[in-house]
Structure 1
Amino acid sequence: MGARNILQVGPVTERFNTRLTQDYQAERLWTQVDREAFLSQHGADVEVLVTSIRFGCDATLLERLPNLRAICNFGVGYDSVDVGAAKQRGIQVSNTPDVLNDCVADLALGLIIDTARRLSEADRFVRRGAWPQGNFPLARRVTGKRVGIVGLGRIGKDVAKRCAGFDMQIRYHNRKPDPHSPYGYEAELTALARWADFLVLTCPGGAQTRHLIDAPVLEALGPQGLLINVARGSVVDEVALVAALQNGTLGGAGLDVFEDEPRVPAALLTLDNVVLLPHIASGTEETRLQMEELVFSNLDAFLADGQVLTAV
């Protein structure tokens, strides 16, 4: 192990990886020829683990790191980290909140516009030379429509702010109402879906929200409704989603996340009423740099004072 006993589970960006190795003497778990042998030899030396939503840190890995004191996670989502097990052992866990809110909210609005106005489908229409044979079918208006937001946290509020700029009516569903929110609260998720033209998911992932969007919710959203997911793939029952799209009980979907990334259900690839993105909501140069800097700020704070800055 390096002098500072830091282990990186998997790669982030080349810039981030290089800095972590050069400035912090971190070891790279993903480059080890024999991962198990490495953990057997060095697992007890690791005090800080650096990971991301893609690689996480499950209970099995935690068991191999008996002296771990902190987990610094690259990303606002941390459902791939066993936070419960970590906290039982007194291990601090940090993430990178707020710095990606704007870009995720921007992408959510982009998916609303894309799915309603059928932009990606229209692009394919032009590229395959279909325009000379006839005009592209009509799409649907965005301005003035009704948007239901599932999870009115930081990102959800930024989505609402953007939707308000399009004169959209806004309601939301949380586990409990936000007393400071100016928007209408729906305690029943199916009622929100039945009311909405767009159902936008900005809630956390994890066991509590797994398959929160199931067949009854999709049916309530209806054949004119559009589902937008910039949260986590696990929030949606993908089998039910595919069925609803195929049988026409759901109007369409804009998806940036999937249950088994990077694998996308083959059936979705054949549907024109679905926009598919490779989990790029935070994927801008500016935001990713801010996320990297926040990971290093958490790491520096822990190494200096024994406390991370943005604990989950």
Structure 2
Amino acid sequence: MARPMLLVGQPLLAPLLPLLRSNYDVIALWEPPTPAELAKVDAAVWAGEFPFPGALMDAMPRLGLIACFTVGYDGVDLDLARQRGVAVAHGGNANAEDVADHAIGLMIAHRRWIVGGDRHLRAGEWTIEAKTRTHSMRSARLGIVGMGAIGIAVAERAQAMKMPVAWWGPRDKPGLGWPRAATLDALARDSDILVIAARADESNRGMIDGGIIAALGPNGLLVNVARGQLVDEMALVDALKAGRLGGAALDVFDPEPTDPARWADVPNVVLTPHTGGATHEAVARMAETLMGNLASHFAGTPMPSPVPEMA
């Protein structure tokens, strides 16, 4: 019996090839495959932040599954997949706890001047006569945009640090232990720190715009561990340079990788290169989930982690 054929989409997924080839025939999009090879593909393994072209879907008439290795799947047109009868799966909540850890780390790094203090010391600027004072985490009002697995994990950690927590999302979630703000603007106005943990799609692109940034204000800190496209990055940069926003701590950008020159003269920022969920442990969980999704799809049984909109 012929083994199912998989297409692996991005070079960053190349380390998965030996694992996948243990059970499947595999071709790589970057090599690239011939039209005849694409016509034999049964499932695609994809990094969900990358757009999945409709033309590629057209070239694979046997395609039955887009299995995103990543937790995010915003690059996949779910309506188009549904029209074509293509199932979509993702990495579930494999890295939610790690992303939440990173969000807390970014908050602390900025608010307690950890990155700036390191640079200050290394530059020989630490003197006995002067000591920089920072802001406590305790009692800092935390607003969370998007209360999925990551948002909840951030809230739990913040609560342990005695930070008041509120949140906003487009849909209420009764039963959560934290109050939902009436609007995103109201959440920003009532927060010292605003963490973006929402899932991105075209409906919320740029929702953290100049107005929300102004509501957070000159003493506020914006933390983004979700997707760069959720923030109007030019408005953010302008507000930081003008002092209309107190600071930003960012793990995601639009586009990626971000141009370092863009941030060279931007004050009060802490930046990391989209590493929030990139732990060895989370990657292992995503690989396990991927293999489970593939096996279940080809066995005709429920997948462990279909995307919620397709379940």
Identify whether the pair has TM-score above 0.5, normalized to the shorter chain: yes
- Give the whole-Å Cα distance in 2 for the aligned partners of 1:306 and 1:39: 31
Report percent identity of matched pairs.
Answer: 36
Shift of 1:115: 1.2
Structure 1 134/50 Cα, relative in aligned 2: closer, same or farther at 3 Å?
farther
> Counterpart of 1:68?
63
> Counterpart of 2:120?
125
> Counterpart of 2:201?
206
Counterpart contact for 1:122–1:136, Cα < 8 Å: no
Gaps of 5+ in 2: none
Report the 3-state secondary structure (helix = DSSP H, G, I; strand = E; otherwise coil) of the residue aligned with 1:178: coil
Shift of 1:272: 4.1
Counterpart contact for 2:13–2:47, Cα < 8 Å: no
- Give the whole-Å Cα distance in 2 for the aligned partners of 1:66 and 1:73: 19
> Counterpart of 2:218?
223
Deviations 1:149-200 (A, max 9, x none): 0001111111100000111111110112211112111121111101100000
Shift of 1:308: 2.9
Deviations 1:279-309 (A, max 9, x none): 1111111111011110011011112226533
Counterpart contact for 1:11–1:17, Cα < 8 Å: no
> Counterpart of 1:41?
36
- Give the whole-Å Cα distance in 1 for the aligned partners of 2:102 and 2:131: 24
Counterpart contact for 2:49–2:73, Cα < 8 Å: no
> Counterpart of 2:98?
103
**Equivalent of residue 192 in structure 2, options 192, 197, 218:** 197
Gaps of 5+ in 1: 33-37
Shift of 1:220: 0.4
- Give the whole-Å Cα distance in 1 for the aligned partners of 2:129 and 2:86: 62
Shift of 1:17: 2.5
Q: Does 1:19 align with 2:19?
A: yes
What residue identity is the alignment partner of 1:303?
A: F
What residue identity is the alignment partner of 2:238?
A: A
> Counterpart of 1:149?
144
> Counterpart of 1:8?
8
Counterpart contact for 2:237–2:266, Cα < 8 Å: no
Counterpart contact for 1:225–1:252, Cα < 8 Å: yes
> Counterpart of 1:296?
291
TM-score normalised to the size of structure 1? 0.93
Would you say how many aligned residue pairs link Structure 1 and Structure 2? 306
- Give the whole-Å Cα distance in 2 for the aligned partners of 1:56 and 1:191: 33
Shift of 1:136: 5.1
- Give the whole-Å Cα distance in 1 for the aligned partners of 2:298 and 2:86: 14
- Give the whole-Å Cα distance in 2 for the aligned partners of 1:270 and 1:306: 54
Counterpart contact for 1:68–1:91, Cα < 8 Å: yes
- Give the whole-Å Cα distance in 1 for the aligned partners of 2:200 and 2:259: 18
What residue identity is the alignment partner of 2:52?
A: C
Shift of 1:66: 2.1
Report the 3-state secondary structure (helix = DSSP H, G, I; strand = E; otherwise coil) of the residue aligned with 1:200: strand
Counterpart contact for 2:111–2:134, Cα < 8 Å: yes
Structure 1 97/43 Cα, relative in aligned 2: closer, same or farther at 3 Å?
same
> Counterpart of 1:169?
164
- Give the whole-Å Cα distance in 1 for the aligned partners of 2:214 and 2:93: 33
What residue identity is the alignment partner of 2:7?
A: L
Deviations 1:228-287 (A, max 9, x none): 101110100001110111100000011000010012463323334111111111111111
- Give the whole-Å Cα distance in 2 for the aligned partners of 1:211 and 1:163: 26
Counterpart contact for 1:39–1:64, Cα < 8 Å: no
What residue identity is the alignment partner of 1:4?
A: P
- Give the whole-Å Cα distance in 2 for the aligned partners of 1:206 and 1:247: 29
Shift of 1:22: 4.1
Shift of 1:80: 1.0
TM-score normalised to the size of structure 2? 0.93
Shift of 1:10: 1.2
Deviations 1:1-32 (A, max 9, x none): x8421110113455423212344221111132
- Give the whole-Å Cα distance in 1 for the aligned partners of 2:258 and 2:230: 16
